Chain A
């Protein structure tokens, strides 16, 4: 093998343009594929994050009242609705709230240790909750207790949110009290203190974009019913999700028709909510996968094409070598080594290119640093692809008969 490298290099010198073109194509392909794969992984990872709630058994309904109501009327209407929903067969539990994970809107709150601390220690998403919330969402309480019925307050629009007690996520608890002593301690999200009475394992915030990434796992349940809570969350037996989703709307309109529930997306299973929330990520992953696949296919086809041309051009040369005693294996090895050398040059250039593109994208598109593993994976993939692509024409080269040497 090693003996062949010198003659190969000499031969390549005579096909400088073709060699450079293939190496360049491999370099560009490597650079694009590495970065695209990394984008795919980031997007998939982002879209796979668990919310911490029992997703496959939850339905959400977005309800608005058509007429202006007094606070008392609103409370009565919400209570009636919740009772109606609770009676639907298959429903396990229900509550009304301002927001829920992946909903895209909610209340970010700054949390402090004291009432007069100027800068918040962290931001957290506040979710309105009652005693049914833990059960409806299927949250895992890892310390402390649920809200008691007598702790649930009522809050009108533009009233001050000052919860005496809160249930926080483990991530938020650790952000405020890194030594793990959060339970029973106080935090401030208003001028009044809030005591942490419970800690849940996980509850994701309503937003999925990068700007809230730092505190996306930091959520607080506040024990209030909102006068006009826009969302009903319903936990249903897993096999009943679609059955309940299809009749809930009619049940609500039957009890009171003066409401607006959008015909298209008023009732949504949580699986649909997740799909909507991560649509961009899903789309990016699909687009990048398609481009990677076409790119690799075209590069492979290009290698097949050019190698075929070289084999065709060197039939006489191959014939002479065969006549002088070279085995078929020698001929095969010759073309595969030639391809290996070109691909090697391509992947070296491509690795540099991949890293430069990534460092530019880090500045321009908030991309993370490309792990070297991706470059390595790309290098191995392209070396294999090159060998596979060259194998077909190289095999044809081995069938060149020694008689070719005698032809003009």
Chain B
């Protein structure tokens, strides 16, 4: 007698539900175990995915952060890494050489905005001083206008690119190109208004930020203009020994405070740039500025984020521990399913004796496991929602804010629950399908 496989599968689902209802406590236990395991791993996975993403995947392989050791490596210990920022002298040498396809020196600055109205209080805005190459190099999207040109860099122009948010605050979101904005008594002419642009992590300033701030930078101004205004960095300024005295002394000092990025389109250019850095360092050694052989690094964006430890170790440990937790939940499920299926050895023997094939037994028991998987997935989904809502208790607010519940995560949660349960059911099902028909009938 041949029966319709779809109909049979429906029948197996019915059988499964009936069997599960016969042992409600064990069933509930399996569903909860799967639910907890899946929820814990999905929540940590969502956080991990949020912090370990590539902020500019289409270009990251071309973007490199050079490092030059301008500190005495002997004071830093053997195998020491060069500083992750550059001093002014080296950054300017690299800018002037223009060896890369594109290059930019960047550092964080901030201004106070004094509103015209008497009622509102002054507020701070923060942004970056950088070079014209910054915008095409990082594919920065504009709402109005664009970045400034190299002539503005050379001309030390008072131009500015502002965020759409600042444009909203100051100009009500209108096209403000060509208008002036006064920051700390300095006037700047607006040449571009950004679209909402805030790559996470903020790779181009990973040395200063943990990289996941919810607010993007408010503005960008030419680096050369910032130098004329004597704008100090709002980020790290690390000195090995004494810093310089006064503004000029600071620029001449070996204090590091500048992030440097280059775009190197292919392997040949990369090789050329590496030897350029070696050569530059060697030349500094010959000039007596460095008393040590060249100690340089050239990391691409992904290596750089890794080097800067952008993904907090807490996130990785949580991910590992919760996956291990899921494994324990699955081992638990294997044990319980085994108990459950073997208890029905008599039923299997009877069905086998009546002509059911091993394949039928497989389908029947795996369908039953599938039901547990779906139920576990739903419980897991609810717990994941709960977990995501309480992330703020466990991770820093900006990271917690980053991890969001979305359709992808919902599908993944259900999928992981079902697949994991069905995999867990393979061994118990195999054992059940091995039951010999005659033997079982005899013993009963």
Which residue numbers of A lie inside 8 Å of B, CB to CB?
A: 17-18, 21-22, 24-25, 28-29, 31-32, 35-36, 39, 64-68, 110, 118-120, 157-160, 190-191, 253, 257-260, 262, 279-280, 283-284, 286-288, 291, 294-295, 298-299, 301-302, 305-306, 308-310, 312-313, 361, 365-366
Contact B338–A119 (Cβ < 8 Å): no
Rounded to whole angstroms, the CA-CA distance of A365 and B319 in the bound complex is 13
Residues of A within 8 A of B247 (CB): 158
Residues of A within 8 A of B343 (CB): 309, 312-313
Nearest A-chain residue to B77, judged by Cβ: A119
Nearest A-chain residue to B241, judged by Cβ: A110
Residues of B within 8 A of A298 (CB): 32-33, 36-37, 328-329, 332
Knowing A190-B242, A258-B122, A298-B33 touch, does A287 contact B112 (C-beta < 8 A)? no
Rounded to whole angstroms, the CA-CA distance of A126 and B437 in the bound complex is 82
Interface size range of chain B in the complex: 35 or more
Contact B335–A302 (Cβ < 8 Å): yes
B232, CB-defined interface residue at 8 Å: yes
Residue among A258, A305, A366 facing the most chain B CB atoms (10 A cut-off): A305
Residues of A within 8 A of B124 (CB): 64, 260, 262
Contact B396–A17 (Cβ < 8 Å): no
Residues of A within 8 A of B322 (CB): 291
Contact B328–A295 (Cβ < 8 Å): yes
Rounded to whole angstroms, the CA-CA distance of A191 and B245 in the bound complex is 13
Nearest A-chain residue to B250, judged by Cβ: A158
Stretch at the interface among B160-168, B258-266, B298-306, B308-316: B308-316
Contact B123–A39 (Cβ < 8 Å): no
Cβ < 8 Å to A, chain B residues 383-403: 393-396
B121, CB-defined interface residue at 8 Å: yes
Closest 6 CB pairs of A and B: A309-B339, A66-B122, A283-B394, A66-B112, A21-B335, A302-B332
Nearest A-chain residue to B332, judged by Cβ: A302
Rounded to whole angstroms, the CA-CA distance of A262 and B343 in the bound complex is 66
Contact B121–A158 (Cβ < 8 Å): no
Nearest B-chain residue to A367, judged by Cβ: B317
Rounded to whole angstroms, the CA-CA distance of A302 and B328 in the bound complex is 10
Residues of B within 8 A of A305 (CB): 25-26, 29, 335-336, 339
Rounded to whole angstroms, the CA-CA distance of A190 and B250 in the bound complex is 15
B243, CB-defined interface residue at 8 Å: yes
Kindly identify which residue among A24, A190, A260 contacts B331, using a CB–CB cutoff of 8 Å. Answer: A24
Residue among B232, B243, B313 facing the most chain A CB atoms (10 A cut-off): B313
Rounded to whole angstroms, the CA-CA distance of A253 and B120 in the bound complex is 12
Q: Could you give, for residues 228-247 of chain B, a 1 whenever the CB lies within 8 Å of some chain A CB and a 0 otherwise?
A: 00001000000011111111
Residues of B within 8 A of A361 (CB): 317
Nearest B-chain residue to A29, judged by Cβ: B328
Contact A260–B242 (Cβ < 8 Å): no
Contact A295–B244 (Cβ < 8 Å): no
In the assembled complex, the CB of A63 is this many whole angstroms from the nearest CB of chain B, namely 11
Contact B395–A283 (Cβ < 8 Å): yes
Cβ < 8 Å to A, chain B residues 28-42: 29, 32-33, 36-37, 40
Nearest B-chain residue to A287, judged by Cβ: B394
In the assembled complex, the CB of B32 is this many whole angstroms from the nearest CB of chain A, namely 8
Residues of B within 8 A of A288 (CB): 321
Kindly identify which residue among B114, B249, B335 contacts A18, using a CB–CB cutoff of 8 Å. Answer: B335
Knowing A21-B335, A24-B331, A160-B242 touch, does A301 contact B317 (C-beta < 8 A)? no
Residues of A within 8 A of B318 (CB): 284, 287
Rounded to whole angstroms, the CA-CA distance of A80 and B72 in the bound complex is 44
Contact A291–B245 (Cβ < 8 Å): no
Rounded to whole angstroms, the CA-CA distance of A157 and B232 in the bound complex is 9
Knowing A28-B331, A68-B185, A291-B322 touch, does A302 contact B33 (C-beta < 8 A)? yes
Total number of residue pairs linking A and B with CB closer than 8 Å: 148
Nearest B-chain residue to A120, judged by Cβ: B75
Nearest A-chain residue to B243, judged by Cβ: A158
Pick 27 A–B contacts, CB within 8 A, sort by A.
A17-B338, A18-B339, A25-B335, A31-B324, A35-B321, A67-B184, A68-B184, A119-B75, A157-B232, A158-B232, A158-B247, A160-B243, A258-B122, A279-B396, A280-B314, A287-B318, A288-B321, A291-B322, A294-B325, A295-B325, A298-B32, A298-B328, A301-B32, A301-B332, A302-B332, A365-B316, A366-B313
B418, CB-defined interface residue at 8 Å: no
Contact A280–B396 (Cβ < 8 Å): yes
In the assembled complex, the CB of B373 is this many whole angstroms from the nearest CB of chain A, namely 17
Contact A253–B121 (Cβ < 8 Å): yes
Rounded to whole angstroms, the CA-CA distance of A31 and B194 in the bound complex is 51
Residues of A within 8 A of B335 (CB): 18, 21-22, 25, 302, 305-306
Contact A286–B393 (Cβ < 8 Å): yes
Kindly identify which residue among A28, A253, A284, A302 contacts B317, using a CB–CB cutoff of 8 Å. Answer: A284
Knowing A118-B75, A309-B339 touch, does A158 contact B249 (C-beta < 8 A)? yes
B11, CB-defined interface residue at 8 Å: no
Contact A36–B328 (Cβ < 8 Å): no
B359, CB-defined interface residue at 8 Å: no
B18, CB-defined interface residue at 8 Å: no
With A28-B327, A262-B124, A306-B335 already in contact, 20 other A-B pairs whose C-beta atoms are closer than 8 Å:
A24-B331, A25-B332, A68-B184, A158-B232, A158-B250, A160-B243, A191-B242, A257-B122, A260-B121, A260-B124, A279-B396, A283-B395, A286-B394, A301-B29, A301-B32, A305-B25, A305-B336, A305-B339, A309-B339, A312-B343
Contact B396–A258 (Cβ < 8 Å): no
B98, CB-defined interface residue at 8 Å: no
Residue among B40, B244, B431 facing the most chain A CB atoms (10 A cut-off): B40
Nearest B-chain residue to A43, judged by Cβ: B314
Nearest A-chain residue to B322, judged by Cβ: A291
In the assembled complex, the CB of A166 is this many whole angstroms from the nearest CB of chain B, namely 16
Nearest A-chain residue to B229, judged by Cβ: A68
Kindly identify which residue among B74, B316, B321 contacts A118, using a CB–CB cutoff of 8 Å. Answer: B74
Rounded to whole angstroms, the CA-CA distance of A118 and B123 in the bound complex is 44
In the assembled complex, the CB of B257 is this many whole angstroms from the nearest CB of chain A, namely 12
In the assembled complex, the CB of A286 is this many whole angstroms from the nearest CB of chain B, namely 6
In the assembled complex, the CB of A229 is this many whole angstroms from the nearest CB of chain B, namely 14
Residue among B250, B316, B317 facing the most chain A CB atoms (10 A cut-off): B317
Rounded to whole angstroms, the CA-CA distance of A25 and B329 in the bound complex is 8
In the assembled complex, the CB of B312 is this many whole angstroms from the nearest CB of chain A, namely 7
Residues of B within 8 A of A302 (CB): 29, 33, 332, 335-336
Kindly identify which residue among B114, B246, B249, B312 contacts A258, using a CB–CB cutoff of 8 Å. Answer: B114
Residues of A within 8 A of B327 (CB): 28
In the assembled complex, the CB of A305 is this many whole angstroms from the nearest CB of chain B, namely 5
Residue among A22, A302, A309 facing the most chain B CB atoms (10 A cut-off): A302
Contact B122–A260 (Cβ < 8 Å): yes
Rounded to whole angstroms, the CA-CA distance of A310 and B431 in the bound complex is 16
Cβ < 8 Å to A, chain B residues 1-42: 25-26, 29, 32-33, 36-37, 40
